[in-house]
Amino acid sequence: MDESLSLLFPTEVWQFKSDNIDNKNLLSSILKDEQKEDSLHYSNVGGWRSSDNLHLDSRFSGVVDFIIENFDCICKRNNYIDNLIIKITSMWSMVNRNNHSNVNHVHPRFDWSFCYYINTPIGCGNIVFVDPRIRKTMVNQASILSNYENPSTHEIYFIAPIAGLLIIFPSYLEHYVEPNLSEEVRVSLSGNIILEKG
Q: What is the pLDDT of residues 137-152, one digit of tens each?
A: 776 666 666 665 677 7
Look at residue 156 in the predicted model and tell me its pLDDT.
Answer: 86
Average pLDDT, the chain: 93
For residues 174-179, give the mean pLDDT.
98
- Report which secondary-structure segment, H or E, holds 188: strand 186-196
User: Which percentage of the chain shows pLDDT scores above 90?
Assistant: 82
Backbone dihedral region for residue 98 (phi beyond 0: left; psi -120 to 50: alpha; all else: beta)? beta
Please choose, from the candidates 78, 53, 49, 55, the residue with its C-alpha nearest in 3D space to the C-alpha of residue 68. 55
* pLDDT higher than 90, residue 1: no
Instruction: Assign 20 to helix, strand or coil.
Output: coil
pTM: 0.93
Q: Give the pLDDT band (50/70/90) at residue 16.
A: very high
Please choose, from the candidates 164, 190, 168, 177, the residue with its C-alpha nearest in 3D space to the C-alpha of residue 54. 190
Q: What is the pLDDT of residues 79-96, one digit of tens each?
A: 999 999 999 999 999 999
Q: Could you please report the per-residue DSSP string of 69-134?
A: HHHHHHHHHTTPPTT-EEEEEEEEEEEE-TT-EEEEE--TT-SEEEEEEEE--TTS--EEEE---G
Cross-strand bridge partners of residue 127: 159, 177
Instruction: Assign 17 to helix, strand or coil.
Output: strand
Q: What domains does the chain contain, in order, with CATH numbers?
A: 14-196 (2.60.120.620)
Q: Give the pLDDT band (50/70/90) at residue 182.
A: very high
Single-letter code of the amino acid located at 17: K
Alpha-carbon Rg of the chain, whole angstroms? 18
Cross-strand bridge partners of residue 147: none
Q: Which residues contact 57 (CB under 8 A, 6 or more apart)?
A: none
Q: What is the pLDDT of residues 101-143, one digit of tens each?
A: 999 999 999 999 999 999 999 999 999 999 998 877 776 666 6
* pLDDT higher than 90, residue 66: yes
